[in-house]
Amino acid sequence: MNDERTRLRSSRTSLAVMGISTAALSEAAPSEGHEGAEPLDPEAMRREEAAWWTGVIDAHAQQRRDPGWAGRAEESFQADLGAIAPGRTLEVVGVDCRSTSCAATIRWPAYTPEVMKDAGSLAGHPYRERCTKSISVPPPEDPSAPYLAQIVFDCATQRAGLARR
């Protein structure tokens, strides 16, 4: 029973990180056949996900910059992101790499359904730097205002592999 709840919670978190509403998933919370199971609170999950995302951004910001790697990685991510941008309303504002992670800032003219599609493309793209990707695109208070999001690339495992060679 707990394994199933954990799996469902993990699935909801993965979807919500992409900004996909978890409201529809609330009805799928385990209840039948799972006596004692607590219904999952979508608002509490959104708060947990926001706290997780803040941690991801803070961890990147606190790293020192590795000048031997960061510049090359920034150029690589900038080129890959630039290849995704044509034909879309997104603009790559910049890429900031530190010692084991990079954060790319993306801007859209407004929060439209295109943001969700683009976020999926950004997360699924086969970047040259083989890093773990995280992106969060929660709905803003004003969907008509310009929308900024970051995609964070965790390159610690990739960099550790290079160091062993």
pLDDT at 37: 60
Q: Please write the tens of the pLDDT for every residue from 53-108.
A: 999 999 999 999 999 999 999 999 999 999 999 999 999 999 999 999 999 999 99
Nearest Cα to Cα of residue 137 among 111, 158, 102, 98: 111
Other residues' Cβ atoms within 10 Å of the Cβ of residue 78: 15
Provide the residue count of the chain: 165
Q: Record the pTM.
A: 0.74
- For the chain, what are the domain ranges? 2-49, 63-164
